[in-house]
Amino acid sequence: MNELTRQQLKQRKIIFNIFVIGLFLVLFYGFFTIQVAGRDKYYEIALDNSVRELIQHPVRGTIRDRNEKILVDNRPSFVVSVIPRQLSAEKLEDLAQIINEDPEYIREKIRGRHTFLPVIIKRDLNYQTIVKLEENRLNLPGVLVELESKRFYVDGVLSPHIFGYVGEVTQVEASRNKDFLPGEMIGKSGLELKYDTNLRGVKGVHFVKVDAEGRDLGMINLERNIDPIPGMDLYLTLDYSFQQFAESLMVDKRGAIVALDPRNGNILAFVSKPDYDPRQLAGRIAPEIWYKLQSDTSHPLYNRVTQSKYPPGSTYKLVAAIAALQEGIITTKWKAYCPGYFRLGRKVIHCWNTKGHGELTILPAIKHSCNVFFYKLGLKIGLETWAEYSQKFFFGQPTGIDLPNESAGLVPTVEYFNSRYGPNGWTKGNLANLAIGQGELLTTPLQMAQFAMILASKGVVHNPHIADYLYDAQHDERIYFPSKINYVQGISDEVYDLIREGMLNVVHGGTGWRASVYGIRVAGKTGTAQNPHGEDHAWFIAFAPYENPVIALAVIIENAGGGGAIAAPLAGLCMEKFFYDRILPRRVAMKDTIQVDSLESAIRIKVDAIPSLEISSPDSI
């Protein structure tokens, strides 16, 4: 047998030891670099590995009226989700049958998501489906019925054009705002859109410990969790019982009613008809309902108060009257003769009263809404001055109400006509038409109500707004919005007084007599706007009481006929309800009863309690 020499062994031992120690040093170095030098980096990765963020959605703020009555609230809605890892192919078929969907639809939703994280399959389940899912709970592992909140409208609440609706975020919206997560519910229109940031609240985050397969192992790190902050409650300027009354006047009609408080710009009523039941768009929106609303020829989705543009008709004669008086083009003594028609070149245009009004000055012309008078006046004023005064009253620009997508209307100017028809393509006929509120001129009902407010307050314009304040429950604090005031410049008190007197006459013995309210001095102006869509639009604008106005309003009924006959009575009813909080018995009935005396005492004017604003135009200050 071979024997090894001591020398040989010692030499080999040294070589082996060097090799072994060298290789171990490399290993020690490897552990040092990642455990001592790289510890923080790997610790972060390990945390990310095992902790998953679960987004906590806040509850959306409620919307309430000025009396703190809840109008829009939240209610639980049921959602079915599945955990893709736990749902077998066979159970998927069963689930599809219960929720009445195609199995392929579910497969599509969970494709490529082989995790323990639930995937929402269907929102807003109906009661029968929930019951069926609960009955089969044990047979359907991996199927969850979860709670979500959806908008709930208190009984009797409609007004979809005020509130708007809430819907799932679209890809376009998500790309514009990084804060939006897929599937999140956000405001899409109306107040829900305008005050979305406040109503939505702030999302929270819960950190949940998961294993390598994403299985939830229960909460950890409670101090790191951030709870969601619920949305703020939005309080409106209107009293919803008054709003409901105004809406009831418009049932089965097309048009709008908008009422403002001229002392502060508060919206008191805001009606756009036809509308739709906002409940149809709460939660999951059925495609057939959406299609029906969109294709309806009466456009129920359209907010007529701020988005529809109409020719204002005779209500706009007041602008021509103010321009002529302020510019000194005419005096109150200036007279025009109305034979019932007006000849302009080869064209003959008729006054609404074909018998003719005879010779009249400006006050009777307003009272009887004589067209011929204003044709002649319009020609005297000229387009430039007329357009200047139209813009002074903020026509042709949005009012800045706190609702999205407001329309500007249209005030035609010299430039407008030149670019549209060419410098020689338009005639005095266009101007004559504009003076009586016809032709290219377009206004929104809100602009007309704002005009009534300006006349009521003699030039003070409070920015119309429907939101009064936000209530922040976190800090128990009310957040008011800064109020914006504008003034109509360069119109004297005398002119205002004269126009206001004319408007008073309209209701007291003039074309707008049907808007009169017992015991209240109402001032107004009728309008009957010809339009290419058929019957005339009936207009009425008004404010009351005459001395210290607390309400200004505009009413338009599309294709209904004369403003005095159709719109004025509705305005009268609105004001009656507003001042007395009820509808008074008709005078006709009173004549034969012995209750005539007691009626006087029965009527108590509600608005006495409201402090009224000093009315003064800025020019007199």
Q: Which residues bind another protein (CB under 8 A)?
A: 1-4, 8-10, 12-13, 15-17, 20-21, 23-24, 26-28, 30-32, 34-36, 38-39, 41-43, 45-47, 49-50, 209-213, 217
Nearer to another protein, 20 or 55 (CB): 20
Task: Give the side-chain half-sphere CA count within 13 A for 199.
Answer: 27
**For helices 371-381 and 383-392, what crossing angle results, to 10°?**
100
CA-closest candidate to residue 373, choices 345, 339, 346, 344:
339
In the complex, least distance from residue 402 CB atom to another protein, rounded to whole angstroms: 50
Nearer to another protein, 114 or 420 (CB): 114
In the complex, least distance from residue 224 CB atom to another protein, rounded to whole angstroms: 15
Distance CA 493, CA 276 (A): 44
Strand bridging mode 358-360 / 347-350: unpaired
Cα-based distances in Å from 324 to 317, 387, 495, 568: 11, 12, 10, 26
As given in the structure block, the two tokens for residue 19 are: 């090799």
In the complex, least distance from residue 4 CB atom to another protein, rounded to whole angstroms: 6
Contact 552, 262 (CB under 8 A): yes
Nearer to another protein, 213 or 614 (CB): 213
H/E stretch holding 73 reads strand 70-82
Nearer to another protein, 43 or 481 (CB): 43
Nearer to another protein, 25 or 289 (CB): 25
Instruction: Give the torsion sign (CA, 125, 148, 282, 108).
Output: negative
In the complex, least distance from residue 227 CB atom to another protein, rounded to whole angstroms: 25
Contact 85, 106 (CB under 8 A): no
Nearer to another protein, 23 or 289 (CB): 23
In the complex, least distance from residue 113 CB atom to another protein, rounded to whole angstroms: 17
In the complex, least distance from residue 30 CB atom to another protein, rounded to whole angstroms: 4
Torsion over CA of 120, 126, 132 and 133, rounded to 10 degrees? 20
Please list, residue by residue across 356-376, b when 16 or more beta carbons sit within 10 angstroms of its beta carbon and e when fewer do. Answer: ebeebebbbbbbbbbbbbbbb
Report the amino acid identity of residue 18: I
CA-closest candidate to residue 264, choices 466, 71, 445, 524:
466
Nearer to another protein, 31 or 127 (CB): 31
Name residue, tokens 């060097």.
Answer: 18
Nearer to another protein, 3 or 223 (CB): 3
In the complex, least distance from residue 400 CB atom to another protein, rounded to whole angstroms: 56
Contact 551, 392 (CB under 8 A): no
In the complex, least distance from residue 16 CB atom to another protein, rounded to whole angstroms: 5
Nearer to another protein, 47 or 485 (CB): 47
Strand bridging mode 63-64 / 233-236: parallel
In the complex, least distance from residue 18 CB atom to another protein, rounded to whole angstroms: 11
SS3 assignment for 123-158: CCCCHHHHHHHHHCHHHCCCEEEEEEEEEEECCCCC
Cα-based distances in Å from 500 to 159, 361, 459, 508, 620: 32, 15, 12, 12, 17
In the complex, least distance from residue 116 CB atom to another protein, rounded to whole angstroms: 12
Nearer to another protein, 27 or 589 (CB): 27
What are residue 176's phi and psi, to 5 degrees? -80, -35
Nearer to another protein, 22 or 422 (CB): 22
Contact 606, 581 (CB under 8 A): yes
In the complex, least distance from residue 25 CB atom to another protein, rounded to whole angstroms: 9
- Residue 78: CB atoms within 10 Å: 20
In the complex, least distance from residue 22 CB atom to another protein, rounded to whole angstroms: 11
Contact 543, 455 (CB under 8 A): yes
Bridge partner list, 216? 210
The alpha carbon of residue 67 and the mean position of all alpha carbons in its chain are separated, in whole angstroms, by: 20
Nearer to another protein, 46 or 583 (CB): 46
Nearer to another protein, 48 or 477 (CB): 48
CA-closest candidate to residue 313, choices 497, 516, 559, 551:
559
